[in-house]
Structure 1
Amino acid sequence: MLPIATPLAYGYQFYAFPLAILEGREEARDWVLSNYIQTAFDLAPDSPVPFCFYVDDFTRSPWLETQTLTRQFCRSRGDRIDDLVRDAIRDGWYVYLTVNERHIPDRLAYVNEIDYPHDLLVYGFDDDDDTFAILGYDQDQMFRPTTSPQESFRTAFEAMGEGDFYDTGIILYRFDDTGRYELDPVFVADAIEEYLVGTNTSQRYQASQAALDRDWGMQGYSALVGHLKRYADGAEPFNILNVQVLWEHKRLMVARAERCGELGAAVSEIVPELRRIERRAWTLRTMMLATSSGDLEGFRRDAVPLLEEIAAAEPEVLTTLVAALRDLAREPVS
């Protein structure tokens, strides 16, 4: 069994899985808190990921070794996925891949007996019990560890069909003990300012990928307000992920400010304000989950003003945090 932790952010599994590997290691903390600052809202209709953190490559970290294989490559070699996974885990590699969750116990698709290609992380195996230890969203949509019979896992991997499907490929992660990273208060301050002013951060990586057309950082609040209003009007389906990411962003900002305080930044008055914003975001998430009772009118009456309160409160406290970080960077080294 390889170690995993419950990460501070887990709304989308493509970033939850590397964070689950990293956040159990204290030495990786500064890297995590130096990232996951910028957000991007995709206004394109039917976007698979409308609102999310922006990181140029979610698989990359100085604390991770990464290898990427394709399903076709493994098939051409005749590799059985269960053999490959066991060999990888023995060598310290976590395995991230897509399977048909119809065949994975404790998954919603398994309960409903429907085909559903979805990603998961394998972090251990027990040949005595003939099981794999996996991480992901269970049948109750809770992000947690479960197990799968190895034969069922193999069936799930092979039952994807030949057509187009969402596929992560097969990504292998291994914690790199030789990694090095220290939190730079100036870098973090710059990143927070980009969030505040709505800088298109993706333009920095145009040498390797096209810039993205998004509403960046604080600009995304108007799109979030519109999303909540349309949901309350019955014009959009229930989707907890937008407010989940919003809450995760505030949760990480609290942890980030606390870490900067440990490094000497004057954040004693800032952290409580950030915690109040995080609690509002948590309340908004809880309110949306409660709409399963059908009270959309009450949700619109209460939720939209709450989101607007969050948007109004954030600039002042983050601007103060930026100033504290720049003051910390200017302090002489003793």
Structure 2
Amino acid sequence: MNHEHLLPIGAAPIMSYEHHASPLTVISQSNAYSTWLYSNFVQLECEIQYPVKGDVGFNFLHNKHIYFNCPHLDYLRMSSTYVKHFNRGIVPFLIESVQQGYYPNVFLNHFYCPFEPSYQKYHYWAAFLVYGFNETERIFHILGYADGHYSAKTISFSDVELAFEYNDDSPVYKTMIKLFKYVPHVKDELDLPYIRRSLESYMASDGTIYPSRSAASCEPLVVGLECYNIVKQYLEKMLDRTKKVDVRPIHLLWEHKKLWVERLRYFQQQGIEISETSTMEMESLEKRMLTTRNLMIKLRITNNYTILAKIVEGWDSVIDEDVRCLSQVYEDLIKNEH
């Protein structure tokens, strides 16, 4: 008998970072989350020091913290110390979590992950989502980023035991285990006034309508359209070779526009009057950002920096197009409130 247990997974609509991809993979197993999805992810945030620091300083507002209050997700956190010292070990803990319908999200050391380029070369920690196991083959089924792609993999119980060990100086967030569980039969109501206020805030680069970010980074930041100017500075750092080529900010902007296209189509399906002009203009902007994202990938492969020079040169026109598209959408939303 093959003792395999697999939890259902969906297709995450946001893949920019693992902290979006993993929880969204869990809740996207059903379309029931669509109202929650399209009511959020309107606003963007960017740390002022992003051009210097890079990493995940440009993101959707509240980024990973938005999932704490998602009605479609049971979200738990615990210290790895508990699992290592007060439980029976990481492997039984992961197995029992999956059996209870939870998807463990755990940091593993790539040095012990055979599918990673860094395997047996250097130590690097990244998070993976466990969605199943096979006790006969003694493997876990996991999802995570390897070589730039979020994809499914398998890893042996013994390798997980090794990869789970942490150095004493590991950052706190790397020593936390998250447990996600899909909550079915939740009915959301679309809050058009909130979405309209979020859009208004985005266009005005004003984050005052949102709760405090005390749970998130305390770095000074900007929101909304002002993010474009900070991202441009980051692109200029890449252009003068003081920063390595990073596709992620452009990929995130493409996902932001892609979500807007899906959001407008969803509104139309719900009987909300959105002009076809708004939808077509947003689709055009989404395609432009996808092309730009693909050019960034080409730059990374070819090392042809004239590609990046052209992207920077045309950056202000991207902002103008975004303003034009969302101004029309804003007018549509105002009309639906009367």
Residues 109-139 of structure 1, C-alpha deviations (whole Å, 9 max, x = no match): 22x7211111111111111222111111123
- Mapped partners of 1:143, 1:107: distance in 2: 12
Aligned counterpart, 1:273: 281
Residues 162-199 of structure 1, C-alpha deviations (whole Å, 9 max, x = no match): 22235161111111124331222111111111111111
RMSD of aligned residue pairs (Cα, Å): 2.0
1:27 counterpart (24, 32, 36) = 32
Unaligned stretches of 5+ residues in structure 2? 1-5
Aligned counterpart, 2:297: 289
Matches of residues 126-275 of structure 1 in structure 2 within 5 Å?
126-139=134-147, 141-158=148-165, 160-165=166-171, 166-167=173-174, 169-201=176-208, 204-205=211-212, 213-264=220-271, 265-275=273-283
Q: CA deviation at 1:82?
A: 0.9
Is the aligned partner of 1:77 residue 2:86? Answer: yes
Would you say the 8 A contact 2:144–2:152 is kept in 1? yes
Deviates more, 1:115-124 or 1:176-185: 176-185
Q: CA deviation at 1:50?
A: 1.9
Give percent identity, aligned residues only.
21
Q: CA deviation at 1:308?
A: 2.4
Is the aligned partner of 1:304 residue 2:309? Answer: no
- Mapped partners of 1:317, 1:302: distance in 2: 22
SS state of the match for residue 311, structure 2?
Answer: helix
Would you say the 8 A contact 1:202–1:211 is kept in 2? no
Aligned counterpart, 1:39: 44
- Mapped partners of 2:215, 2:308: distance in 1: 42
- Mapped partners of 2:213, 2:294: distance in 1: 38
Distance 1:299 1:41, change over 3 A: same
Would you say the 8 A contact 1:82–1:153 is kept in 2? yes
Distance 1:29 1:283, change over 3 A: same
Deviates more, 1:17-26 or 1:90-99: 17-26
- Mapped partners of 1:249, 1:210: distance in 2: 21
Deviates more, 1:166-175 or 1:115-124: 166-175
Q: Which amino acid aligns with 1:128?
A: T
TM-score, normalised via structure 2 length: 0.90
- Mapped partners of 2:233, 2:116: distance in 1: 32
1:328 counterpart (310, 331, 336) = 336
- Mapped partners of 1:218, 1:168: distance in 2: 35
Q: CA deviation at 1:75?
A: 2.2
Q: CA deviation at 1:207?
A: 7.7
Would you say the 8 A contact 1:70–1:170 is kept in 2? yes
Would you say the 8 A contact 1:39–1:217 is kept in 2? yes
Would you say the 8 A contact 2:128–2:143 is kept in 1? yes
- Mapped partners of 1:47, 1:235: distance in 2: 11
Q: Which amino acid aligns with 1:124?
A: G
SS state of the match for residue 58, structure 1?
Answer: helix
Q: CA deviation at 1:88?
A: 0.5
Distance 1:203 1:273, change over 3 A: closer
Q: CA deviation at 1:240?
A: 1.4
Unaligned stretches of 5+ residues in structure 1? none
Would you say the 8 A contact 1:100–1:117 is kept in 2? yes
Is the aligned partner of 1:319 residue 2:327? Answer: yes
Q: CA deviation at 1:209?
A: 6.9
Aligned counterpart, 2:3: none
Would you say the 8 A contact 2:87–2:93 is kept in 1? no
Distance 1:168 1:182, change over 3 A: farther
Q: CA deviation at 1:55?
A: 2.7
Q: Which amino acid aligns with 1:20?
A: T
1:94 counterpart (83, 88, 103) = 103
Aligned counterpart, 2:66: 58
SS state of the match for residue 179, structure 1?
Answer: coil
TM-score, normalised via structure 1 length: 0.91
SS state of the match for residue 269, structure 1?
Answer: helix
Distance 1:27 1:14, change over 3 A: same
2:112 counterpart (103, 115, 128) = 103
Distance 1:208 1:48, change over 3 A: closer
Residues 41-97 of structure 1, C-alpha deviations (whole Å, 9 max, x = no match): 112232532211113723320011111110112223043111001101011000011
